[in-house]
Amino acid sequence: MAAGDLVGWLRRRFSEDGFTVARPKSAVDLAEVSEALVVAATIAGTLPARADDVMLAAEGAAVAMAQPRSRGRRILRVLDQLGWLTAVGSELGPVHDVVIDYLLTEVLATDLQNESVTNGYVVLDGGLNRPRALGRLASNLGRIVSDLHLRNDSIGEDLGAYCRNWFDQKLDEVQASLLACTDPDEASYALGSLLNGPPWLSGVLTHWPTVVQPWLEENRSSVDARHLLYVGLRNVPEGHSNPLPSVALAWLDHHGERRDASFVLGPLLGRDDLAEPKRVETAALAWLEHHSELPNAQFVLGPLLGRDDLAEPKRVETAALAWLEHHSELPDAQFVLGPLLGRDDLAESKRVETAALAWLEHHGELPDASFVLRPLLGRDDLAEPKRVETAALAWLEHHGERLDAQFVLRPLLGRDDLAEPKRVESAALAWLEHHGERPEAASFVLRPLLGRDDLAEPKRVETAALAWLEHHGERLDAQFVLGPLLGRDDLAEPKRVETAALAWLEHHGELPDAQFVLGPLLGRDDLAEPKRVETAALAWLEHHSATDAEAASFVLGPLLGRDDLAEPKRVETAALAWLERHSATDAEAASFVLRHLLGRDDLAEPKRVETAALAWLEHHSERPDASFVLGPLLGRDDLAEPKRVETAALAWLEHHSATDAEAASFVFVIFWAVTTWPNRSVSRLPRSRGWEATARPTPKHPPPPSSSFGP
């Protein structure tokens, strides 16, 4: 039965027995709710509950509606007789939650329509009889509001505000009810229900000193504070000024060895705002010493393994492996294996890998196996990469068309040790056929796929990337497709790719991240519109050359390397300005700019360039990558200070001829070719180093840093 049909059916059934809402007869009239419906909604709000508590709520609602208490008892009896209630021992409950939802929504929604609080506040006041009733009411209304939000029903916001307004007005009664309660467990349950999310959480946080703090001060060491801590630690936003983490630590000092302390440890370990993470870790390890073999220890191990500030990662790893020895075949072992595999400080990575593979043998075809495969595939220390790849491909055969297969495909495509790259490529292309137009396809599948140099069907991959760009080419994260796509040397349609890149630059060309598109675009030798690309690069450098040295070097390098510049003087000027600002502080980036600048044969100010290179060499002549500056510097025929260049080259060769034969060969060959220099210089070179016959190195520029906009 559809939701609308069910509501209509419930409305007809309840109306037959007097639980009605009389719709307004005209625009100026108000809807009228029968007192029977108000009492019924009050009863529903407290369910499930002990029969005497439900009776108390029914009687209170009847009195509030100017009816005798007996009227409340009668309505309760009628609801029971009509089959809307069920009884288990001394406790009453609804036949189904939809009954609670219908009754509460009918009354509160009518108040919203009437711009009134007359009837709804009677219903909500039923939660003031005792904390247990308040907890039930908070949970029931929280469920209703959440469901309305999921359905994008605008009434959800209004209903949430209605409940918060009631809460604001009833603070004193709520506080009195909590403090008067002689059962800490009941009060803890009520507070936990209020902290469990909308619509109550924001109000509780606002009035924390009035509602929560007094109770905590009296009960912080009580074992029954467990429920409040469990819910609060999970839901109170990080950064909010609240004492829950410190209260939880104090609670653990008293009860940390109890089995159910896991309900406090788990959410406490999951917080990133801990003032004393070492104490929490110690408490968790102490608990594990007593309970590490319990299946439920996963709820402590999982978040503990997920922390990046562990003081004793080896002990935590040992505890996890001990747990896995007993429970590695359980499906839920994924919640320990996943974060364990995600750690980069494992002492026994082979054992962890073996445990993961054993788990995959039992559960590798389950959809949730992706939570183990993903971090396993992301490891660079696999002892059996082939088995891991096989497990991933087997999973993809069953689930390769699922949207979340992207989380397996991405790390799989990122591996450089694939035994069956063609099968992996085929799986990625199959996924793209189903999901290739989705925005997330860019960073999770297309990006690593385009980065592979062993594609069997590069044209299909290019086509998939271009199809994605047709839909999302103006998005900021299109950079993650454009970058690796532009970096390929096997494009079938380079003009279309260039056009897509230029279109993207029109929207985002001034952003820092444009470097990831400009760099590979400038590196292409088949540009149809090199002038537009050059203009875009110069415009970007005007904004970022002074403030982001490394990023600007990634644009300047390939720009200087082009032989079709329309404005070489502007480019040279930009490079010299960059060197004046950053050469002393970023040696590696400066060497990258200098090597390209020195290689140009159209310099307008060769003396300034030579001076910049010599200044860099004075500070960095012993660096291995100084060879990439010395080589093109030695090759110039317009040196103003050849003697200084010669001295720098000899000094470098004395340090590196034995340790970097390939680079030394490059410098030596250039040096030898400069015949205008006396042979006595050559006689100073080290002999018998084995580097004279080696080839010139291929300078490798480090890749750009990962962007903050994508993985």
In a domain, 439, yes or no: no
Helix (H) or strand (E) holding 92: strand 91-94
Rounded to 5, what percent of the chain is helix, strand, coil?
70, 0, 30
Q: Could you tell me which residue, 468 or 680, shows the higher pLDDT?
A: 468
Contact 598, 609 (CB under 8 A): yes
In a domain, 615, yes or no: no
Cis peptide before 48 (omega within 30 of 0): yes
| Residue located via tokens 């203009």 | 535
In a domain, 317, yes or no: yes
Q: For 610-645, write each residue's pLDDT tens digit.
A: 999 999 999 998 888 888 999 999 999 999 999 999
Token pair of 524, please?
């292409």
* Percent of residues, the chain, with pLDDT higher than 90: 83
- In angstroms, the first-to-last Cα distance of the chain is 43
Instruction: Tell me what pLDDT residue 623 has.
Output: 87
Calculate mean pLDDT across residues 246-266: 96
| pLDDT at 710 exceeding the cut of 60 | no
Q: Residue 319 is which amino acid?
A: A
Contact 242, 230 (CB under 8 A): no
Output the DSSP codes for 242-305: -SHHHHHHHHHHHHTTSGGGHHHHHHHHT-S--S-HHHHHHHHHHHHHHHTTSGGGHHHHHHHH
Instruction: Tell me what pLDDT residue 707 has.
Output: 33
- Window from 1-15, 20-34, 308-322, 674-688 with minimum mean pLDDT: 674-688
Instruction: Tell me what pLDDT residue 359 has.
Output: 97
Q: CA 711, CA 708: separation in Å to the nearest integer?
A: 8
456-470 b/e (C-beta count within 10 Å ≥ 16 → b): eebebbbbbbbebbe
Residue 221 burial (CB count, 10 A): 12
Q: For 513-558, write each residue's pLDDT tens digit.
A: 999 999 999 999 999 999 999 999 999 999 999 999 999 999 999 9
State the angle between helix axes of 494-508 and 458-472 in degrees (0 to 180), rounded to the nearest 10.
30
Instruction: Tell me what pLDDT residue 675 has.
Output: 39
Residue 380 burial (CB count, 10 A): 11
Instruction: Tell me what pLDDT residue 624 has.
Output: 84
Output the DSSP codes for 466-507: HHHHHHHTTSGGGHHHHHHHHT-S--S-HHHHHHHHHHHHHH
* Contact residues for 319 (Cβ-Cβ < 8 A; gap 6+): 285, 288, 292, 301
12-to-76, 77, 86, 346 alpha-carbon distances in Å: 19, 20, 21, 63
Instruction: Tell me what pLDDT residue 396 has.
Output: 98
Residue 626 is given by DSSP the state G
* Contact residues for 505 (Cβ-Cβ < 8 A; gap 6+): 514, 517, 518, 536
Instruction: Tell me what pLDDT residue 657 has.
Output: 64
| pLDDT at 447 exceeding the cut of 80 | yes
* Contact residues for 679 (Cβ-Cβ < 8 A; gap 6+): none
Residue 393 is given by DSSP the state H
3-state secondary structure of 94: strand
In a domain, 655, yes or no: no
Alpha-carbon dihedral sign for residues 374, 375, 376, 381: positive
Instruction: Tell me what pLDDT residue 159 has.
Output: 95
| Residue located via tokens 């409305």 | 11
Domains identified in the chain, total number: 1
Calculate mean pLDDT across residues 470-497: 97
3-state secondary structure of 671: helix
State the angle between helix axes of 313-327 and 334-341 in degrees (0 to 180), rounded to the nearest 10.
150
Q: For 505-514, write each residue's pLDDT tens digit.
A: 999 999 999 9
Instruction: Tell me what pLDDT residue 343 has.
Output: 98
Calculate mean pLDDT across residues 216-232: 94
Contact 35, 20 (CB under 8 A): no
pLDDT band (50, 70, 90) for residue 656? confident
Q: CA 106, CA 110: separation in Å to the nearest integer?
A: 6
Closest CA to 702 of 553, 568, 578: 553
Instruction: Tell me what pLDDT residue 671 has.
Output: 54
Instruction: Tell me what pLDDT residue 670 has.
Output: 55
Q: For 190-214, write each residue's pLDDT tens digit.
A: 999 999 999 999 999 999 999 999 9
Domain that holds residue 252: 243-327
Q: CA 119, CA 124: separation in Å to the nearest integer?
A: 9
Q: CA 298, CA 280: separation in Å to the nearest integer?
A: 16
Q: CA 377, CA 342: separation in Å to the nearest integer?
A: 10
Token pair of 381, please?
């220390």
Contact 397, 409 (CB under 8 A): no
In a domain, 559, yes or no: no
Contact 430, 398 (CB under 8 A): no
Q: CA 386, CA 475: separation in Å to the nearest integer?
A: 37
Instruction: Tell me what pLDDT residue 622 has.
Output: 82
Contact 8, 53 (CB under 8 A): no
Token pair of 590, please?
């400066």
Q: For 333-381, write each residue's pLDDT tens digit.
A: 999 999 999 999 999 999 999 999 999 999 999 999 999 999 999 999 9
Secondary structure of 120-177 as H, E, C letters? HHHHHHHHHCCHHHHHHHHHHHHHHHHHHHHCCCCHHHHHHHHHHHHHHHCHHHHHHH
pLDDT band (50, 70, 90) for residue 291? very high
Q: For 131-142, write each residue's pLDDT tens digit.
A: 999 999 999 999
Q: For 662-701, write each residue's pLDDT tens digit.
A: 555 555 545 544 534 444 344 444 433 333 333 333 333 3
pLDDT band (50, 70, 90) for residue 73? very high
92-to-48, 51, 81, 699 alpha-carbon distances in Å: 6, 6, 13, 78
| pLDDT at 659 exceeding the cut of 90 | no
Q: CA 65, CA 8: separation in Å to the nearest integer?
A: 26
In a domain, 299, yes or no: yes
Instruction: Tell me what pLDDT residue 708 has.
Output: 31
In a domain, 28, yes or no: no
Burial class (CB in 10 A: 0-12, 13-18, 19+), 647: middle
Calculate mean pLDDT across residues 425-442: 94
* Percent of residues, the chain, with pLDDT higher than 70: 92
Strands 85-88 and 49-50: unpaired
Q: Residue 18 is which amino acid?
A: G
Token pair of 634, please?
């030695």
State the angle between helix axes of 421-435 and 406-413 in degrees (0 to 180), rounded to the nearest 10.
140
In a domain, 347, yes or no: no
